[in-house]
Amino acid sequence: MPRIGTVRPRQPADVRVAGLGKQYPTRSGGTVAAMADVDLDVPAGEFVCVVGASGCGKSTLLRILAGFEDATSGTVTVAGAPVTGPDPERGVVFQDYGLFPWLSVRENIAYGPRQARLQRSVVTERTDRFLAAVGLTRFADKYPSELSGGMQQRVAIARVLANDPSLLLMDEPFGALDALTRSSLQGELSRIHRDTGTTVLFVTHSIEEAVFLADRVVVMAGGASHGVPGHVKEVVRIDLAGERDVTSAEFNALKRRISALVHEEVAAPAA
């Protein structure tokens, strides 16, 4: 498969989250804290995975970074600038793809560059490059409904990369895919991250996926149903060099450690 390589026009962004809190109004007129006092620093170019039980606020964190939701308290800055709303510099990959069904694969990928009013030749070049990067050149003129889930997610990734984002936000992107497709996409994402150097914040339910992909794994805990707001429990550095071997002892030791951190919380709710 061709590499994205060489072109790296936009600098990867660093992410600073400080004292972040999110409260939702309840039906009875009160508020419930989904998340409180979340601090997180991600240096530029790092791949961070966020894991945790359902309701711990990991998706909320991502949505606040994306600009889809406002924080109730705290600050969020990306590349030094506070997040005020969605921006093409912060590309989002959703679990359910969110492709435009009436646009072909090529048009979906060209969408962002066209909105940015780039020159036609630049749009074409970028579209072709990212079509190739996710191996979908042959399917350029198909519509999303004609593709498998894995292929649709490839389109969604290419569509975001074509915008040349400085931060990639991925919300359980492989959660709906079968195991085989999932692992091949993990490999591809790993390679894309190496090639583009983009900062990635990746939310997942799968601890193995997190250990496979991340430089650091952020374990979140709590959540409204636990009686404690969601918070960062621990950050685990993954010091595995090169291509990661999911069967190695080191890999599995890390997996066990993170798994224990996640499950402690599930076993003892409302503690």
Partner 1 sequence: MTSTEATPATAATTAPTTPAARTATPAAAPARAPRAPRRRLRVGPLLLALPVPALVLVLWTVGVQQAWELPFGIKMGFLPTPLEVGRRLVDLAVGGIVDDAFSGTLLAHLWASTQRVLAGFALAVALAVPLGVVMGRFSLAFRMLEPTVNLARPIPVTAWAPLTLLIIGYGDGSAIFLVFLAAFFPVLLNTIAGVRQVPVRLLEAAAMLGTRKAQVLYKVVLPASMRSIASGLRVALGLSWVILVVGETVGINTGLGAMITQARDQSKTDLIVAGMVVIGLCGFVADRALTGLLALATRGRPTLT
Query: Can you give the binding site for partner 1, defined by CB under 8 A?
Result: 66-68, 85-88, 90-92, 94, 96, 98-103, 111-112, 115-116, 143, 145, 159-160, 163
State the minimum distance, in angstroms, from the CB of residue 159 to partner 1: 7
Report the distance separating Cα 220 and Cα 265, nearest Å.
10
State the minimum distance, in angstroms, from the CB of residue 260 to partner 1: 34
In the structure encoding, which two tokens stand for residue 126, read together?
């970028």
Is the Cβ of residue 95 or residue 229 nearer to partner 1 in the bound state? 95
The 10 Å Cβ neighbour count of residue 199 is 26
Is the Cβ of residue 154 or residue 226 nearer to partner 1 in the bound state? 154
Is the Cβ of residue 98 or residue 227 nearer to partner 1 in the bound state? 98
Exposed / middle / buried, residue 265 (Cβ in 10 Å: 0-12, 13-18, 19+) = buried
Is the Cβ of residue 144 or residue 222 nearer to partner 1 in the bound state? 144
State the minimum distance, in angstroms, from the CB of residue 130 to partner 1: 13
State the minimum distance, in angstroms, from the CB of residue 235 to partner 1: 26
In the structure encoding, which two tokens stand for residue 65, read together?
């970074």
State the minimum distance, in angstroms, from the CB of residue 144 to partner 1: 8
Is the Cβ of residue 202 or residue 212 nearer to partner 1 in the bound state? 202
The 10 Å Cβ neighbour count of residue 103 is 16
> What counts of helices (H) and strands (E) characterise the chain?
7, 10
State the minimum distance, in angstroms, from the CB of residue 202 to partner 1: 16
Is the Cβ of residue 87 or residue 264 nearer to partner 1 in the bound state? 87
Q: What Cα–Cα distance (Å) separates residue 46 from each residue in 113, 190, 221, 262? A: 25, 12, 22, 22
Q: What Cα–Cα distance (Å) separates residue 81 from each residue in 73, 76, 90, 91? A: 17, 8, 12, 16
Report the distance separating Cα 175 and Cα 173, nearest Å.
6
